[in-house]
Structure 1
Amino acid sequence: MKIKGIFFDVDGTLVCHDKGRISENTLKALYALKEKGIRLFLATARHITELKELQIDFPFDGYVLLNGQLCLNAQKQILLANPIEGHDQKQLASLFSTCAFPMVLVERDRLYINTVTPQVIQAQTAISSKVPPVSSYNNDPFYQCTAFIDEEQAHRLSQTLEDCTITRWNPYGVDIISAQGGKFKGIQAMLAYYDIDVSETMSFGDGQNDMEMLQYTKVGVAMQNADPVVCQVADFVTKSAGEDGIVYALKKYKLI
């Protein structure tokens, strides 16, 4: 099996939040893959500014950001941009402005929240991130919305949206993106740009927003710390992020 491109989720996959960073063993493995000519990509719900906060400065070949809504090449040039539009944009902007519940709007160059609660602080702490600054919506395009709501609220919200999907990443938090997007859409754009066939790909993830990615790539690897439903769709379940699960799987597949 020839692997030419590997996609990595960040939270709970590349970064173990007990440590708050990429481990030295995982970094060594990434550089070893680069030396073999394998293209390496991030595929995350994160914004590019958050990667700096997490001190992720490895030279990736591309960035599938905001669950595939905004994709950048190695030089941070846009390959794909898919903002939330129409009815759903208006609905989410209205909920944000009225502070119906805590919400983060994610634009190309900034992300900001409408109000802060203890649940917001707890959720952000769990992913080693600061709470975004409080600000108001100024009618610029946004690519993702993060809502800090429970399951019942998420269900009610889903009934009001026409063309968005909701995926949970924390007991308190969900990501909302256009139904036309998703990590696998971003991966398709990245593969076309670098002329890599999907049969030559591998991916690592742990959250429900990684499931399509794990199923789409040739080899999908779930972390041991992944949600049980994620493990069910993976080709292989490796050790946890805290146990250098990426390194373990790469050795199993004889890539390092």
Structure 2
Amino acid sequence: MNIKGIFFDVDGTLICHDKGRMSAATEAALYALQEKGIRLFLATGRHINELVELQIDFPFDGYVLLNGQLCLDRQRQVIFANPIEGKDKERLVHLFTSCAFPMVIVEKERLYINTVTDQVKRAQKAISSTVPEVAKYHDQPFYQCTAFIDEQKTHQLARELTNCVITRWNPYGVDIISKQGGKDKGIQAMLAYFGMNAQETMSFGDGQNDKEMLQYTKIGVAMQEADPVAKKAADFVTKSAKDDGIVYALKHYGIL
């Protein structure tokens, strides 16, 4: 199997939130992959500041952040950026400033929320993260919004935002990005930067926002507890993160 690059989702994939960290076996596997000359990347809905908070300090070759909207190299320099713009941006800013519901705006350097509720606290606890600071919007470019809303409000918002895509990352919240974005688009930019081919890649994920990534790479692996959308898009379903599913799949394909 000629795999030269592997992309990893974070929550529920690289990290099991029962433990709140990457397992020792998974970390050892990542170092073994790098020793074989395979490039390793994160592909997540997370902001770089959140990765620091999660103490993910492995030396990845690149970072596909905010569901592909912002890509950084190992030195955290921007490779690709795709902010939300136009009428959808105006609508999201209005929803944020009016506090229609709890909502996070994610800029290049920071992320912040308009109001904090018990739902927000539960959602952040579920992903081992603190609640973002409460702040006002100051007319800066932003690449993603996170809304803490139920399915009914999600469908309503999807009808209003004609140039955005909404994907659910857990029962409490959804991510909103430009329709021109997605993890697959971020991966394309990363591969172009490194001169690599999608036929030489593999990816691991567990959420709705991983669907396009799992389909785009040569091999897409869904975790055992993945969303049905991710499982359907994957080539293989491995064990759960707490049972070192990444290691299991790498051995299944003979990569380790």
TM-score by length of 1: 0.99
> 2:26 is matched with which residue?
26
Residue deviations 1:212-244 (CA, integer Å, cap 9, x gap): 000000000000010122112211000000000
Aligned partners of 2:68 and 2:138: how far apart in 1?
A: 23
Could you report, residue by residue, the CA deviation over 1:90-135 in whole angstroms, capped at 9, with x for unpaired residues? 1000100000000000000000000011111111100000000000
Which residue of structure 1 aligns with residue 213 of structure 2? 213
Question: Which position in structure 1 is the counterpart of 2:73?
Answer: 73
> How many Å separate the matches in 2 of 1:69 and 1:174?
15
The answer to whether the aligner puts 1:109 opposite 2:118 as a matched pair is no
How far apart are 1:198 and its partner, in Å? 0.6
For 1:230 and 1:166, how far apart are their aligned partners in 2? 15
Q: What residue number does 2:228 align with?
A: 228
Q: CA deviation at 1:140?
A: 0.5
Residue 33 of structure 1 aligns to which amino acid in structure 2? L
Letter in 2 for 1:77: Q
Q: What number of residue pairs does the alignment pair up?
A: 256
1:75: how far off?
Answer: 1.2
Distance across 2 between alignment mates of 1:183 and 1:81: 12
Letter in 1 for 2:234: A
Q: Distance in 2 between matches of 1:233 and 1:99?
A: 35
Counterpart position of 1:157: 157
Q: Which amino acid aligns with 2:214?
A: L
Q: Distance in 1 between matches of 2:137 and 2:193?
A: 33
| 1:164 CA drift (Å) | 0.3
- Give the secondary-structure state (helix, strand or coil) at the position aligned to 1:15: coil
The runs of 5 or more residues in structure 1 that have no matched partner are none
Letter in 2 for 1:115: T
Task: Please list every run of at least 4 consecutive aligned residues from structure 1 whose deviation after the TM superposition is greater than 2 angstroms.
Answer: none
Q: Once the 2 structures are TM-superposed, how far is the Cα of residue 254 of structure 1 from its aligned partner? A: 1.2
* Map 1:1-256 → 2, pairs under 5 A: 1-256=1-256
Q: What is the deviation of 1:165?
A: 0.4
| CA deviations over 1:127-160 (Å, ceiling 9, x no partner) | 0000000000011011000000001101111111
Shift of 1:171: 1.0
The 1-side partners of 2:7 and 2:137 are apart by 32
Matches of 2:223 and 2:173, distance apart in 1: 20
* Secondary structure at 1:6 match in 2: strand
- For 1:123 and 1:248, the matched residues in 2 are separated by 29
Percent of pairs with identical residues: 73
- Between 226-235 and 109-118, the greater mean CA deviation after superposition: 226-235
* C-alpha distance in 2 between matches for 1:98 and 1:228: 34
Q: Distance in 1 between matches of 2:139 and 2:14?
A: 34
Aligned CA-pair RMSD: 0.6
Write the distance in 2 (CA, Å) between the matches of 1:5 and 1:144.
25
Equivalent-residue separation in structure 2 for 1:229 and 1:177 (angstroms): 18
Look up the equivalent residue of 2:165 and give its one-letter code: T
State the alpha-carbon separation in 1 of the partners of residues 229 and 63 from structure 2: 25
* More deviation, 23-32/222-231: 222-231
Mapped to 2, the partners of 1:238 and 1:62 lie a distance apart of 24
Q: Which runs of 5+ in 2 are unaligned?
A: none
Q: Distance in 2 between matches of 1:55 and 1:232?
A: 31
1:170, distance to aligned residue in structure 2 (A)? 1.2
Question: What is the identity, as a one-letter code, of the residue corresponding to 1:132?
Answer: P
